[in-house]
């Protein structure tokens, strides 16, 4: 082709539009695909970032709440990430082979780790880190340009700080006459006891006029019977378990009771008041657990009286309410600038006052006192110990929520309830950051 021929070809407009269209159409399609895919890639990256954040947050929170190890937290974060990522791919309509390939690629390019740092006492910091790369499938429009996937990368760091939970607690405990009754639990330390009873005996009697003759008479005898734990003794054991849980939480790295109590005196204040149909002298909140524990142990072994918790609840609320700055002042002196407040209300009966019949007026007073405490931000735990229906109804209404109400039909249940209350009350505060 000489110069004149080439010049003529360029000058010939026939078919030029088709030629240019053939050349530019793939480029135009590809550019359009890039615009669409750019939006999709940004959306996909945001979704993966959200999944990664959720995975690390969940693992960091789990470390703080349940004391899982660094290795367990790492595995949990990975499993959460992979599981949710694959669920999203499945919902997008990808084939099983494509999903399997994406899973392998994600696991290969995911780096996850967790650390626990002690900051003194019961305070710890927890951190979970994750970085990952993933390939996002491009649309058919962009593939015209020769691109199948585009890589994206995300990183996530979540931290939780667990601080010793400073708290003020009041025990409001029933010591009415029915607390002297037996539970169904045999005392493991002294399973039997001697019991005196009156027996009717067939024998021979004598008097001056009749001489000897057959007769029946009563005679005091003794016998061996099962020695059941009384309700009041069960309560003392249960309260001891609760204080043990509080001590563990105050100093989780300590096993010595004295060292635990020393730490507890920096965080925990407990008061106690018992009641019959009368309100007994209270023990004002004091640092640590020993003072309240001794108060409970000193409750009478054979209690007497009726049941009226209204006065005792009033005492507990008066000492814990926000308007009373005593607790806040005491905690501030220990550098506890925030603290939780709890009331533990326990009864084995219904509100009768000094009678054998349920008293609606007293019941209503207790309900009002509970509502007042909850409105003030105090968490109310309640324990119905072998209680009748009206007692259960009252304590269900008094509890802050369903998880704060306990029904105990035997000593084991009571001990478990108080132990759980101790763990919940001492549950350390968790701060999550991402």
Question: Mean pLDDT, the chain, as a whole number?
Answer: 88
**Contact, 373 vs 317, CB < 8 A?**
yes
**Contact, 270 vs 240, CB < 8 A?**
no
The pLDDT value recorded for residue 180 is: 98
Asked if the model's pLDDT at residue 15 lies above 60, the reply is no
Given 3-state DSSP classes, what are the helix, strand and coil percentages for the chain, each rounded to the nearest 5?
45, 30, 25
Percentage above 70 pLDDT, the chain:
85
Return phi, psi of residue 372, to 5°.
Answer: -65, -45
- Looking at per-residue pLDDT, the higher value among 136 and 94 belongs to 94
Asked if the model's pLDDT at residue 30 lies above 50, the reply is no
Question: Which helix (H) or strand (E) element contains residue 173?
Answer: strand 167-174
The pLDDT value recorded for residue 296 is: 98
d(CA 405, CA 170): 16
pLDDT digits (tens, 9 = 90+) for 299-329: 999 999 999 999 999 999 999 999 999 999 9
Asked if the model's pLDDT at residue 8 lies above 60, the reply is no
Alpha helix locations (H) across 12-69? 16-66
Asked if the model's pLDDT at residue 143 lies above 70, the reply is no
Asked if the model's pLDDT at residue 12 lies above 60, the reply is no
Confidence band for 163, pLDDT divided at 50, 70 and 90? low
* Most confident among 139-143, 205-209, 230-234 (mean pLDDT): 230-234
Confidence band for 383, pLDDT divided at 50, 70 and 90? very high
pLDDT digits (tens, 9 = 90+) for 34-46: 555 677 778 888 8
Confidence band for 66, pLDDT divided at 50, 70 and 90? confident
pLDDT digits (tens, 9 = 90+) for 203-223: 999 988 989 999 999 999 999
The pLDDT value recorded for residue 238 is: 98
Instruction: Give Cβ neighbours of residue 175 (< 8 Å, ≥ 6 apart).
Output: 232, 274, 275, 276, 280, 299, 300, 303, 305
Percentage above 90 pLDDT, the chain:
65
The pLDDT value recorded for residue 68 is: 87
Q: Closest by alpha carbon to 390, among 349, 353, 329?
A: 349
Alpha-carbon dihedral sign for residues 387, 168, 274, 180: positive
d(CA 124, CA 118): 4
Fold of 167-183+229-429: Rossmann fold (3.40.50)
The ranges of the chain annotated as CATH 3.40.50.410 are 167-183+229-429
Report CA 298 to chain centroid distance, whole Å.
31
Question: Which helix (H) or strand (E) element contains residue 241?
Answer: helix 231-250
Helix axes 231-250, 290-297, angle to 10 degrees: 170
The pLDDT value recorded for residue 5 is: 55
**Contact, 281 vs 148, CB < 8 A?**
no
């Amino acid at each position: 082709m000489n110069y004149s021929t080439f010049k003529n070809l360029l000058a010939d407009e026939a078919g030029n539009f088709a030629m240019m269209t053939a050349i530019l159409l793939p480029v135009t399609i590809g550019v359009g695909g890039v615009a669409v895919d750019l939006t999709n890639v940004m959306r996909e990256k945001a979704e993966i970032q959200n999944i990664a954040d959720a995975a690390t947050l969940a693992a960091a929170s789990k470390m703080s709440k349940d004391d899982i190890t660094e290795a367990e937290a790492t595995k949990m974060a990975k499993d959460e990430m992979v599981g949710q990522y694959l669920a999203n791919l499945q919902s997008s309509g990808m084939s099983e082979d494509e999903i399997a390939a994406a899973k392998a690629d994600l696991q290969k390019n995911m780096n996850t780790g967790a650390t626990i740092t002690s900051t003194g006492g019961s305070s710890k910091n927890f951190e979970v880190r994750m970085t990952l790369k993933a390939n996002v499938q491009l649309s058919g429009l962009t593939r015209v340009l020769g691109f199948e996937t585009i890589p994206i990368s995300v990183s996530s760091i979540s931290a939780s700080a667990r601080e010793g939970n400073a708290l003020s607690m009041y025990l409001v405990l029933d010591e009415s006459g029915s607390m002297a009754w037996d539970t169904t639990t045999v005392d493991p330390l002294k399973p039997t006891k001697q019991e005196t009873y009156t027996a009717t005996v067939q024998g021979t009697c004598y008097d001056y006029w009749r001489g000897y003759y057959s007769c029946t008479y009563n005679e005091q005898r003794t016998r061996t019977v099962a020695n059941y734990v009384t309700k009041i003794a069960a309560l003392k054991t249960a309260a001891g378990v609760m204080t043990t849980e509080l001590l563990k939480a105050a100093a989780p790295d300590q096993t010595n009771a004295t060292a635990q109590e020393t730490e507890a005196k920096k965080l925990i204040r407990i008061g106690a008041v018992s009641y019959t149909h009368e309100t007994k002298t209270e023990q004002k909140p004091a640092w640590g657990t020993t003072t309240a524990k001794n108060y409970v142990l000193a409750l009478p072994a054979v209690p007497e009286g009726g049941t009226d918790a209204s006065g005792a609840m009033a005492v507990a609320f008066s000492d814990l309410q926000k308007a009373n700055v005593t607790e806040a002042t005491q905690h501030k002196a220990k550098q506890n600038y925030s603290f939780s407040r709890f009331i533990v209300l326990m009864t084995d009966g219904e509100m009768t006052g000094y009678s054998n019949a349920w008293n609606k007026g007293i019941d209503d007073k207790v309900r009002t006192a509970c509502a007042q405490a909850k409105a003030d931000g105090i968490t109310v735990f309640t324990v119905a110990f072998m209680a009748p229906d009206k007692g259960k109804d009252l304590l269900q209404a008094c509890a802050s929520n369903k998880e704060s109400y306990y029904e105990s039909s035997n000593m084991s249940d009571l001990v478990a309830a108080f132990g759980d209350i101790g763990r919940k009350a001492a549950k350390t505060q968790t701060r999550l950051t991402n």
